[in-house]
Every structure is written in C-alpha cells, then in structure tokens.
Amino acid sequence: MHDTCETLGHSEIQHGPYSNRIYLMKLDRRDLPDIIAKLDQLTSEHGYTKIFAKVPVDAEGEFLNGGYRREASIPGFYGGSANAVFLGRYLDPSRAKPGNQAELEQVLELAKAKSCREPRECALPEGFSFFRCRPEHVEEMSRLYQEVFPSYPFPIHDSGYLLETMESHIDYFGILHGGDLISLASSEMDALGSNVEMTDFATLPEFRGRGLAQFLLQEMEDAMIGKGMQTAYTIARAVSPGMNITFSRRGYLYGGTLVNNTQISGSIESMNIWYKSLRLFPS
C-alpha cells in the first residue's frame, strides 16, 4: 500500500490516506500562486492532516502566507546554488507536535556527536561484495525490501516499480554475502537540479552493525559525483540512530526535522533532513 503520484497543474505531487498528507515534490513556477489554494482544496476533499512542500526558497513567502511553516532547508539544492526549503502546513494541530520529542532529540544529539567533516575511507568486511543493481536483480530486490519494511511511502516492494525507476532516474546499489543480496540503497537523481536523494537503505537484521550502509553511501557518492550531481541529501527516520549516524559520519549536515511526516514500517514518523555538497569532492 502506498500513496499516489500525479501532476497538479504542471507540478508533481504525491498524496493519499497512507501518509495522510499531500507532498508537493516538485513545484513548477507556472503554477504559482494558484497551487496553494489547489492544495488546500485537495486536502479538504480528502481530509488530509498535513501538506508537505519542497520548494525553492524564493517561493517560500507565498507558502508562509498560506499557513505553512519552514521545517528544514538545503543550501545549493538547485543546480548547486539556489536553496530549497521544506515546508509543512498542518490541518490537525495534534500532528504538528511529535509525541516522542525527547527520543528524537536524543537521536539527533547522538548523530551530531559522531559528525566527521573528513570521513575515512571504509571497506567491506571479508566475504561481502558490492555491485550496482541491474534489471535482472529487481525480483530479489523487492523481496529484500518486503522483508525489511512492512510498509513504505513508495512502492519499492513492487519489482515493476523498481525496474521502471531503474530505467529512468534511480540507481540502485547492493551488497552480496554468500551470493545472496543482503543490503540495498538507492540514489534518486534530479538531473535538472543536479541533486540526488540517497535513500531506500535496507539491510537484513542479521547483517546490521557491520558498516554496510556507511560503505554503500561512500560508493553511491562516488557514483553520483561521476554523474555530475552537486548536492546529496537524505530524508531519514528521525528515530533511527543508525541511519542518522551514518549520514553524520559521512560529513552530512543536519537541515531540519519534518514532523509526523511519513508512513513507514506501520506508522507515521518524523524525518530528519541531512545534506552534503558533492562539489567539494571532484571526481
């Protein structure tokens, strides 16, 4: 189960009861300012409790006037120069307040304490091998994602979706052990904006704690630099010490927290933004 991706005017949105929200993923400036009222109307029609918008900073004012608040930002998101902001509008006031604030703060403090501006080169443990996923791997990939995530905001359980995105704008990377796929992640590229989301990290429980996500992220960065991406970022589960530490240790900076934002593994969770300029690491 997952929400629907479609266009609203010329802009790209995702919406549905699963995350009980609308996500404005890519704003087309031709839709301003009318899209703000259209998002409100769609929210009213479906009873959603949050609208989440990722927009260029110079469009922020119109959204703030429409009842949004800034939750996070990423410098140089568009083309390595223009900043992006992540905005939230809450139709249910209770959704605007995380019920586990102390836990979220503890995880964030732990991750920041592990920050490293010059990360060390890491290697795989003996017996593990890294590879870039190809179309013939999608069935095995979908099985791994099904095992790790009971639910997810995008249909990564569907091999057809994995194949479609692999052939368009997402590179998938994996780690094998004994010939079996045991860890995965993806790089979702916005070629026009020269930014890439490092996402969909999944490792079988018995192989966690071995630095596999750290290694995957290192290799993904190298691949994305080679493709001309200038800014890398992630939207990580705010309750996950492992993922937040993984990005902090790789030199990513904290950009803010999206409160009660995303349905994942059975509940709606808050998410942390981490970002890194890849221009500092020429290929």
Cα angle, residue 54 at apex, residues 231 and 76 outer, rounded to 5°: 25
- In this structure, are strands 170-177 and 195-203 parallel, antiparallel, or unpaired? unpaired
Q: What burial class does residue 64 get, using C-beta atoms within 10 Å of its C-beta: 0-12 exposed, 13-18 middle, 19+ buried?
A: middle
What 112-115 contacts at long range (C-beta under 8 Å, 24+ apart), as own/partner pairs, is 112/248, 112/254, 114/245, 114/248, 114/249, 115/248, 115/249, 115/251
pLDDT of residue 166: 98
Phi first, then psi: what are they for 253, rounded to 5°? -105, 145
- Give percent of the chain above pLDDT 70: 98
The domains of the chain, with CATH numbers, are 4-96 (3.40.630.30), 101-280 (3.40.630.30)
For 72-102, write each residue's pLDDT tens digit: 999 999 999 999 999 999 999 999 999 999 9
pLDDT of residue 118: 83
DSSP 222-277: HHHHHTT--EEEEEEETT-HHHHHHHHHTT-EEEEEEEEEEEETTEEEEEEEEEEE
- Give percent of the chain above pLDDT 90: 93
pLDDT of residue 119: 87
The Cα 33–Cα 49 span in angstroms is 21
pLDDT of residue 48: 98
For 33-65, write each residue's pLDDT tens digit: 999 999 999 999 999 999 999 999 999 999 999
- Encode burial over 122-144: b for 16+ CB neighbours within 10 A, e otherwise: eebeeebebeebeeebbebbbeb
pLDDT of residue 283: 39
Mean pLDDT of the chain: 95
User: Which ranges of 66-130 does DSSP label H, i.e. alpha helix?
Assistant: 101-113
